[in-house]
Amino acid sequence: MSQPDFQAVQHAFAAHLRDPEANPAPAGLEARRVEVYRSLVFNNVSQFLSGTFPVLTSLLPAVRWQALVRDFLRRHRSHSPYFRHIPEAFLTFLAQSDAAAQDPPWVGALAHYEWMELVLDTDDTPAPRVDSPTGDPMQHVPVLSPWCALLAYDWPVHRLCETFQPDTPLSAPVWILMYRDPAQQVRFMELNAPTARLMQGLQGNTSQSGMDLLHELAGEMPGTPVDSVLAFGAELLGDFQARGVIAGVCYTPRGGADDVEGL
């Protein structure tokens, strides 16, 4: 068989595996073996996506989930050989798919939230340079871990379950801090608005001490005593450090190619 003919068979076989209803298997292939390949492709992708999006999978009817996976296989064209990149492509598919309009309105937000756990779990960014992992973040420059992310959603994605599936978005976004702890486990915590604002100040900070950041935060909270903000912030920074959200401190302003900043 010439190379062009062989490639034609490959393309026809791949099209069949993606969309069996629209593309018949190439002639001459044993039906039983084709079925094995067809099942392997669908089940492998379905199981990998189910493992990445367990809550989403559990909240959608099984028939609907299988239809989404089948539609994803039909439409998606992979540009990466790595399985861990498939969930990100699935997120894009959900955002662009007209068929997904029939699903609950929180599907996209929930999928992103669950995908972020995979992102942080597999992130191999080097640890940042710090002068001390246990130094005082109030007095020195706190350095965020690269394995954390501040997320905001219009849906309570961390609370969705079989008995709680709202049909209207929140009146104000929910802030969620997702991070990888020192034991390499991905954790999350819901933040109030001032804590989220402090996290935003920590992101990319290279020169200000925790005390400086908290004084700025106090300036954005008229009517709240500065001492209260400082006391709240000192406790919070210590908790972040214990959880591994803050990797440590630098004694002088940071900068240069050797520094790695948090997400």
Spell out the per-residue pLDDT of the chain, length 263, in tens: 444 577 776 776 666 566 667 666 667 777 787 677 777 878 888 999 999 999 999 999 999 999 999 999 888 777 777 778 899 999 999 988 765 678 999 999 999 999 999 999 999 999 999 999 999 999 999 999 999 999 999 999 999 999 999 999 999 999 999 999 999 999 999 999 999 999 999 998 999 999 999 999 999 999 999 999 999 999 999 999 999 999 999 999 876 444 443 33
Establish if 118 belongs to a structural domain. Answer: no
Residue 150 β-bridge partners: 177
- Judgement on whether residues 142 and 240 belong to the same structural domain of the protein: yes
Establish if 259 belongs to a structural domain. Answer: no
pLDDT of res. 1: 44
Establish if 86 belongs to a structural domain. Answer: yes
DSSP 162-189: TTB--SS--SSPEEEEEEE-TTS-EEEE
- Judgement on whether residues 91 and 172 belong to the same structural domain of the protein: no
Establish if 142 belongs to a structural domain. Answer: yes
Count the domains in the chain.
Answer: 2
Closest CA to 253 of 209, 197, 211, 189: 209
- Judgement on whether residues 68 and 164 belong to the same structural domain of the protein: no
- Judgement on whether residues 33 and 79 belong to the same structural domain of the protein: yes
Which residue range is the domain that position 240 belongs to?
Answer: 126-250
- Judgement on whether residues 67 and 143 belong to the same structural domain of the protein: no
Establish if 199 belongs to a structural domain. Answer: yes
- Judgement on whether residues 161 and 229 belong to the same structural domain of the protein: yes
pLDDT of res. 80: 74
Tell which of 43, 69, 103 closes a domain: 103
- Judgement on whether residues 145 and 76 belong to the same structural domain of the protein: no
Establish if 175 belongs to a structural domain. Answer: yes
pLDDT of res. 15: 61
pLDDT of res. 83: 79
CATH number at residue 196: 3.90.930.50
- Judgement on whether residues 131 and 242 belong to the same structural domain of the protein: yes
pLDDT of res. 10: 73
- Judgement on whether residues 99 and 134 belong to the same structural domain of the protein: no
Classify the C-alpha dihedral 162-163-164-166 as positive or negative: positive
- Judgement on whether residues 11 and 80 belong to the same structural domain of the protein: yes
Cβ(13)–Cβ(41) below 8 Å: no
- Judgement on whether residues 239 and 141 belong to the same structural domain of the protein: yes
- Judgement on whether residues 88 and 144 belong to the same structural domain of the protein: no
Tell which of 71, 103, 135 closes a domain: 103
Cβ(145)–Cβ(247) below 8 Å: yes
pLDDT of res. 44: 85
